[in-house]
Amino acid sequence: MPEVLRIEQLTIDFLSAERIAAVREVSLQVSPGECLGIVGESGSGKSQTFMGALGLLPRSARATGSVRFEGREILDAPRAVLNKIRGSRLSMVFQDPMSSLTPHLRIGTQLAEVLVCHRGMSWRESELAALRMLDRVRVPESKRRLRQYPHQLSGGMRQRVMIAMGLLCEPALMIADEPTTALDVTVQAQIIDLLRTLRHEYGTAFVLISHDLAVVGGLADRILVMYAGRVVESAAARDLLRRPRHPYTAELLRCVPDLSGPPLERMPSLPGQPPDAAQPAAGCEFAPRCPFAVELCRAQRPPLRRLGPGEVACHFPLPS
């Protein structure tokens, strides 16, 4: 089956006072209906990869490589082409639902506008479609909500509205960039539940970007771990969570608190800082923080290579 999204050798540089390498030679594919999780800490380039793919980078950024969406090259595509795809075939949900809705427009107007723009539907039909969509994302009292303004809704409600907006045109792919980070834990669980249900109802492919392995692990079929702008490991979610092959993934997993075990003295954490993106290292970017690093790791960067069912970029992957 052809991929919905295929990113090849995507590299993004920010050209400010110094050249900052945000994303390095990232390749990935998303199949129809698949849910791909992207995990990494702040600044690992996980969001920038998809911002670059959608043409949402600031002016100071340069992206090279290839991004094919439904077989069509969209990196550096003209704005008119992108505007046709964005919001209809390819939609995006942002981290902060508090500020992602325009404050002076009613919920109904904002939702309907997407259909009026992309489908050329009338305002009346669009509002009806918006109402049905609000019901599907489990917004209670959807009729009243249509007439309300964003500030009258709670955070979780607003994120549901954002998801509804993303699904209105039945996209082939929805990119959710940290959709639950700004919400409290109980609402987080509801949103994850909702995404899981919607995935089965619509058959939409999802890319779920998060720094939280627990969030991604509960939803994704396949997980991609990024560190310092590179993919360090990718595998089926089940394999990756059970048997991480890259030391970084293993360290991340160690940091997920386990409620079933005995109470901990202190939360485990990964010592050190991620490397400075302005000064690329010769060897493995994770070497300075890696408990297993040897001379080879500091001198030569390991390529991403196939290992068992997944891929890993490490000279000495952990045994399975």
In degrees and rounded to multiples of 5, residue 285 shows phi and psi of -65, -25
Q: Is 22 in the site for other proteins (CB under 8 A)?
A: no
Could you tell me the strand order of the sheet in which 19-30 lies? 19-30, 5-15, 61-69, 72-73
Q: Is 277 in the site for other proteins (CB under 8 A)?
A: no
Binding-residue pattern over the window 130 to 169 for other proteins, x denoting contact by CB under 8 A: --------------------------------x--x----
Q: Is 266 in the site for other proteins (CB under 8 A)?
A: no
Q: Which of 36, 63, 114, 252 binds other proteins (CB under 8 A)?
A: 114
Q: Is 85 in the site for other proteins (CB under 8 A)?
A: yes
Instruction: Kindly tell me which of 94 and 202 has the beta carbon lying closer to other proteins.
Output: 94
In degrees and rounded to multiples of 5, residue 252 shows phi and psi of -60, -45
- Cβ distance 223 to 309 under 8 Å? no
How many binding residues for other proteins (CB under 8 A)?
29
- Cβ distance 133 to 164 under 8 Å? yes
Q: Is 117 in the site for other proteins (CB under 8 A)?
A: yes
Q: Where are the alpha helices (DSSP H) in the chain?
A: 46-53, 79-85, 107-119, 123-136, 142-146, 155-167, 185-202, 213-217, 237-242, 247-254, 295-299
- Which range binds other proteins by CB under 8 A, 109-117, 207-215, 231-239, 300-308? 109-117
**Widest pairwise Cα distance in the chain:** 67
Q: Which of 59, 200, 266, 306 binds other proteins (CB under 8 A)?
A: 59
CB of 181 to other proteins, least distance (A): 13
CB of 54 to other proteins, least distance (A): 6
CB of 17 to other proteins, least distance (A): 18
- Cβ distance 183 to 189 under 8 Å? no
Please state, as a whole number, how many other Cβ atoms lie within 10 Å of the Cβ of residue 169: 18
Residues 89-108 that bind other proteins (CB under 8 A): 91-92, 94, 96, 99-105
Q: Tell me, what DSSP letter sits at residue 121?
A: -
Residues near other proteins, by CB under 8 A: 54, 56, 59, 79-80, 82-88, 91-92, 94, 96, 99-105, 113-114, 117-118, 162, 165
